[in-house]
Structure 1
Amino acid sequence: MSWLEDRSIAVITGAAVGDALGGAVEGWTPQQIEERHGGRVTGIVEPWFENWHNARPIAPYHKGDGHITDDTLMTRALVEVYAKRRTHLDAYAVAEDLVPLMIGEPRWIPELESTALLLQRVFLAEKWIVARLHYGHVDPREAGVGNIINCGAAMYVAPIGLANAGDPAGAYAEAIDVTGAHQASYGREAAGVFAAMVAAAVAPGATLDDVTAACLDLSHDGTADAMRAVIAAFRDSPVPQDDDDERALAARVREVVAPFDSVGPEYRQMSMDARRPSRTKAIEELPAAFAFVLAHRGDFRGSVLASVNYGRDADSIAVMAAAICAGLGGTEVVPTDWLDDIEQASKMDIRETGRLMASAARDILIADRERAAARNARLSEWASL
């Protein structure tokens, strides 16, 4: 297996593992999670509600039991766009290729236990993409303006990091362009920074310091402040040794991230300024995820389980933590016991999605190399004039 294929499979499958584990406890507090499951979650668990069909009418989803959520569904759709185009993407690719996938191709939705349109599963903030681009005919580069500001764009942009492997700045720029069709403000910024961190992680020989450097070099405004805060707090913090240490870590992460998070202390009862554009705020998911990665020194299991047991937007937090750790460690760090069960429960070959992304990324990187060589030749010629 080539390096690129290994890292592509690792990032895609690792993120799906984080998604499936975190989806079962999304929206709850660490204390509620322990009470519901008789202690900290250590793997795949059952749904929070036994009557999941109608416990929350706005979200009648079978979360848990190893089912991936919309995070992975959107990631897989973005991979399909890369596989079709085999080049770098922009906001127009979202309008021309991603939207048709969302509204025109029924596919298996594990949480619905049926075949349906991707549009019928995604959250309202992701339905915005279709409303603005398909029905509103808005300029794709500006379609994200007016949407609520959340992690909806950041949660599925790991493939952009793979398409720009080893080039964090390129990944940031591409993610900012692509997600202009979906998000604005600090939601769009988080997507750029997360894609850059994945691009840094998958470079041969990369370390956690390289991911940290990419984050510090490329983030802006409240996102930069939030990431600096978690780096200062957790880069050299003691690695948790037991459950009490993990509980203390979760509380400390929330304390550090809270000043930048607009959602507020009660995840299901958001603050009045929640999800509005701001230059001082950041989505909670990315800095929280990176805090757990730093505290666990990039260990996959430790970082993902810490993210899951944090609660709140646990699936997306775990997706981001998992993608970074898997990018650094490769397929060998993604637990096959979890992945096998998740693929079986979700009725999908997630490894194959990773292979598909590797194939597309290889073509993209080869074309990048050829363009770079041609440009260097021109620069050498011009320099002599």
Structure 2
Amino acid sequence: MTIEEQRPAGRDDTGGGAATDLSRARGALSGLAIGDALGMPTQSLSRQRIVARYGERLAGFAAGEADQPIAPNLPAGSVTDDTEQAMLVGRLLVAGHGHIDPGTLAAELLAWEAGMAARGSLDLLGPSTKRAVAAVQAGVPVDQAGRYGDTNGAAMRIAPVGVAVPANDLPALIDRVVEASAVSHNTGVALAAASAVAAAVSAGMAGAGMAEATGQAVAAARLGAERGYWIAGADIASRIEWATDLVRGLTPAAAAERVYRLVGTSVASTESVPAAFAVLAVYPDDPWQAVLLAASLGGDCDTIAAMAGAIAGAVHGIESFPTTAVDTVRDVNNLDLDRLAGQLLDLREAGRPVRTTKV
């Protein structure tokens, strides 16, 4: 199926204003999963290798090839650790009525990895999370376990916090980000990155367009950088502003090359999070094209596409993605994203009880 054949009909390009709250919540979770699944076969590959195999931009979901270093032979539409850990965070938010206990999160992440390893998966915990969980197991206090975590593991799984928590009080939102992140990523760099993604999702949930959501992300990143332990690294807020300016006016192909070569697409928070916002600056009104481009960048492009998809889905709603794409990630991975979206939305809406149905 080509890009044009998959383009959704009746897409709202006005910045998300026509979408309902539930549509935005569903869009954030489905957008994350769609971006992740698109980037599954291209993750850890160079941009040159992706272009040679798939063209300048992916046309849709593809299976993991036998030589895929992390996801060999996975069916087209399969998600990776990005979606699975985000759903884990979402379930813990619901169980904790909007709060996450860091010790419980560490235990759940450890159990998740054990389950993945038992299934023969190579897509396990990232370097910062693995180091922190091992530290917790060894008796290190949870507030110290993540003091060196500077990669994008917190940012990749933070979207449910953005769905569940309003962004009109940024310090309060960042408190929730820290709850969901500090056990593995308790550094100013990583917390700034996760705050940026959560704030952009939350702003989209409130009806913001992409430019406003990006502005909220920058403001949140500045506040998030003041939390946690200091570690050397570029300023996330400044990098987001720079990366989005860097691609302005470029063709998608030229923008992709510039992001790949200058912004960077590694697991570093200082690269992958600004890269996601740069892609959204190229396609501010077309979430499907944005995640296709993000998944074609190379490097940690499944995570970049997942973050971009979550933000774009929150801004524009689930209708902005092709129905076939939404159905594919749900059916291939047996994901009940709609139920979790509703539960997270209940947390957001003051005065409404949390649904008691299990995720």
Return the TM-score normalized by structure 2: 0.80
Q: Does 1:226 align with 2:239?
A: yes
Q: Does 1:75 align with 2:86?
A: yes
| Superimposed CA distance per residue, residues 90-148 of structure 1 (whole angstroms, 9 cap, x where no aligned partner) | xxx121x3233334579986xx7x768x9983334323343222x1233222221134x
| Superimposed CA distance per residue, residues 184-220 of structure 1 (whole angstroms, 9 cap, x where no aligned partner) | 241222111111111111103x112221221232323
In structure 2, distance between residues paired with 1:108 and 1:355 = 27
The aligned amino acid for 1:136 is A
Q: Residue 303 of structure 2 is aligned with which of 296, 316, 320?
A: 316
- Which segment drifts farther, 212-221 or 157-166? 212-221
In structure 2, distance between residues paired with 1:185 and 1:346 = 34
In structure 1, distance between residues paired with 2:352 and 2:339 = 23
Q: CA deviation at 1:352?
A: 2.9
| Partner in structure 2 of residue 379 of structure 1 | none
| Partner in structure 2 of residue 101 of structure 1 | 108
| Partner in structure 1 of residue 337 of structure 2 | 350
| Superimposed CA distance per residue, residues 159-205 of structure 1 (whole angstroms, 9 cap, x where no aligned partner) | 1111213436132332134311111241222111111111111103x
Q: Residue 254 of structure 2 is aligned with which of 233, 248, 251?
A: 248
| Partner in structure 2 of residue 18 of structure 1 | 35
In structure 2, distance between residues paired with 1:190 and 1:207 = 20
Runs of at least 4 residues of structure 1 off by over 6 A?
105-108
The aligned amino acid for 2:61 is I
Report if aligned partners of 2:256, 2:293 keep a CA contact under 8 Å in 1: yes
- For the structure 1 residues 61 and 354, does the alpha-carbon distance in structure 2 shift closer, same or farther, using more than 3 Å as the test? farther
Q: CA deviation at 1:65?
A: 1.4
Report if aligned partners of 2:181, 2:191 keep a CA contact under 8 Å in 1: yes
**Structure showing greater Rg:** 1
- For the structure 1 residues 47 and 302, does the alpha-carbon distance in structure 2 shift closer, same or farther, using more than 3 Å as the test? same
| Partner in structure 1 of residue 77 of structure 2 | 66
Report if aligned partners of 2:77, 2:329 keep a CA contact under 8 Å in 1: yes
The aligned amino acid for 1:316 is T
Secondary structure at 2:311 match in 1: helix
- For the structure 1 residues 291 and 303, does the alpha-carbon distance in structure 2 shift closer, same or farther, using more than 3 Å as the test? same
Instruction: Report the number of matched residues.
Output: 322
Q: CA deviation at 1:367?
A: 8.0
- For the structure 1 residues 252 and 39, does the alpha-carbon distance in structure 2 shift closer, same or farther, using more than 3 Å as the test? closer
Q: Does 1:189 align with 2:192?
A: yes
Unaligned runs of 5+ residues in structure 1 are 268-274, 276-281, 369-385
| Partner in structure 2 of residue 150 of structure 1 | 151
Q: CA deviation at 1:27?
A: 1.2
Secondary structure at 1:309 match in 2: coil
| Partner in structure 2 of residue 378 of structure 1 | none
In structure 2, distance between residues paired with 1:49 and 1:356 = 38
In structure 2, distance between residues paired with 1:197 and 1:312 = 23
- For the structure 1 residues 316 and 153, does the alpha-carbon distance in structure 2 shift closer, same or farther, using more than 3 Å as the test? same
